[in-house]
A and B are shown apart, each in its own frame.
Chain A
Amino acid sequence: MAPFALIFLTFLILPLVFAFRMSLFTSTLATGNKFVGADNYLKAFSDPIFLEGLGTVAKFALVMIPAQMLVALVAALVLDNLATWASKFSRLMIFIPYAIPVVIGALMWGFLYSPRFGPASSIFGLFGLAAPEFLAQDNIFGSLVNIVTWQWAGYYMIIIYAALRGIDPGIYEAAVLDGASDRQIALRIKVPMISSSLVMVVIFALIGTLQFFTEPQVLRGVAQGAIPVSYTPNMYAFTLAFSYSQFNYASAISFALGIVVFVFSFIFLFLTRKQSGLK
């Protein structure tokens, strides 16, 4: 207990307090450290770059989370109805991307998207079409959504699948006797019964999406000019801290993002408190 409390204090509470304190100061060569109160926050929440970054991750959340949930839920429901070796094999294969580091996943997709290396031109060529430029500014959003879905849908699927396996099958027998179809069983019985797992998965996905950093950071190198250094709030904070040494303002951005994530997760948990079983 005690060692955890120590680590907990050192690497969670202390950085939080420290970040908060830092975010209340500005530091310049001329004046040194100066207490400015909430100035950095006022600056952050009126900083068009930060707000644009927040808007970007909000857009990602709106598209990416439903996409991942849909793939994960449908795959889990289909797998739950099968008990063949092919279904066991598929389950593993769909999950495997979770074991791949995000950086490697993004690198691989970067290669696949690339017009120089990727298979897209030959695949689209089969149908006589020109391959879309996945790395162009207009398409980068969809390309990133695809990478994240590929990486995480399998993990979410396993969580949902395990929850489905936990349902007492006697319930379905009653429904089958009453003449319910597979689809009705899936939508009316299974989905409501695993709602707590679904809520948990959405929370994971939400926290992950708002902190979006690795994939755009890696793809930035491949997609020349399509991803600005301040594409997401985390990337903005990283750039401020390590390219411009504005650690105080970067801390304020980090903290502001943390508050946004916290508030959104909390609102979501509150709205779904019935489903999640949390009180």
Chain B
Amino acid sequence: MALVTDTPQQQDAGRKTRGTAARNRARNGGPRIGSHIFLLMLVIYFITPLWWLTVASTKDTAGLFGGSGGPLWFDDGFHFFSNLQGLFERQDGIYWRWLGNSFLYAISGGVGATVLAVLAGYGFAKYNFRGRAAFFGILLGAVMVPLTALVIPTFVLLSSVDLVNTIWAVILPSLLSPFGVYLMRVFAQEAVPDELLDAARIDGAGEIRTFFQIALPLLRPAIVTVLLLSVVGTWNNFFLPLAVLSDPLLLPVTVGLNGWQALSNAGSGGEALWNLITTGAFISIIPLIIAFLSLQKYWQGGLSLGSLK
């Protein structure tokens, strides 16, 4: 069955006519109260932890344990700013350093992985070279290699060149994104017609100029998607930095907060940092939420690219 024939162009066309079709059907079928109740329940489920975190970031430790408002509502006292101050004071504000590290790793890893994926994907899609099919086969296999299986060998490899416990130990492995290359190849094949490239070449544009002026603008939706996926991947990464970093000043915010949590859980010997953990977690999720909300129109279509075959 040739079910996977939808190209990005067709998807766009489908989307244009779909809005009205769905609306018409919705009108015929009434306001669809059942569907909306179902969605409401889902939204409550998905939002509750975030709501809890928002509320918790305004409480002090005592309030977290048994405040006047209960776990899901605000207390009488509003401690967000004193928690914020706590984050600045604790170990000389190491939290902000962690947050900065996360940004550094996510942006350098994400941008680097995207640039490499664009170049490699475009190369796979538009140039014939010897062994292309074989390389692409290896790449497809690589998509299925569990990246965590590489963490321990990568650690040993990096330690043999003395890169363990440096920022490169996180950034360099993050540049690898077989799935990104795969997405770019699929997209470049569909979205950049060979005729257009040939026309540009006949008009005297060099390969580099053709790539930057013709291909790159056409690839934009895929670029944003791959960029988001790899930034999120690096930002969320936990296993790799946990394994390759031990200097507290180099940790990303995920590993750092996890350390605070372990410290607080240690009980009598540890320190209770609960209010700093919740406030720190709250602040750390804001940047990505903003990124996703503001880049909606790109990723909503882009995430389905992989299924285009």
Binding site for B on A (CB under 8 A): 1, 3-5, 7-8, 10-12, 14-16, 18-19, 22, 71, 74-75, 78-84, 86-87, 89-90, 92-105, 107-112, 116-119, 122, 150, 154-155, 158-159, 162-163, 165-169, 172-173, 176, 182, 192-197, 200, 203, 207, 210-211, 213-214, 217-218, 221-222, 224, 234, 237-238, 241-242, 247, 250-251, 254-255, 257-258, 261-262, 265-266, 274-278
Contact = CB atoms under 8 A, between A and B. Distances in A.
Contact of A211 (B32, B148, B278, B291): B148
Interface in B78-136: 116-117, 119-120, 123, 127
Contacts of B200: none
18 contacts: A12-B150, A82-B36, A82-B39, A87-B39, A98-B292, A101-B254, A102-B254, A108-B50, A117-B71, A159-B307, A165-B15, A166-B11, A172-B21, A196-B307, A197-B307, A258-B149, A261-B146, A277-B309
Contacts of B21: 169, 172-173
Interface string B59-83: 0000011000011100000000000
A107 B258 contact: yes
Contacts of A257: 146, 149
Interface in B279-309: 281, 284-285, 288-289, 291-293, 296, 299-301, 303-304, 306-307, 309
Contacts of B39: 75, 78-79, 82, 86-87, 90
A contact patch SS: helix
B contact patch SS: helix
Contact of B281 (A1, A8, A104, A166): A104
Nearest to A156: B303
Interface in B11-59: 11, 14-15, 17-19, 21-23, 25-26, 29, 32, 35-36, 38-40, 42-43, 45-50, 52-53, 56
B304 A162 contact: yes
Q: In the A-B complex, list the 7 residue pairs whose CB atoms are closest, starting with the nearest.
A: A162-B304, A19-B153, A4-B120, A277-B4, A258-B149, A1-B123, A119-B71
Given A165-B18, A241-B243, 13 more contacts: A1-B120, A82-B26, A83-B26, A104-B257, A107-B261, A117-B274, A159-B307, A166-B10, A195-B3, A221-B261, A221-B265, A238-B151, A277-B309
Contacts of B152: 19, 237-238, 241, 247, 250-251, 254
A117 B64 contact: yes
Given A78-B38, A122-B71, A99 B232 contact: yes
Contacts of A200: 306-307
Nearest to A23: B153
B38 A277 contact: no
Contact of A99 (B43, B72, B155, B292): B292
B296 A92 contact: yes
Contacts of B227: none
Contacts of A11: 150, 154, 172-173, 175-176
B144 interface: yes
A211 B39 CA distance: 31
Given A119-B72, A163-B304, A197-B307, A261 B3 contact: no
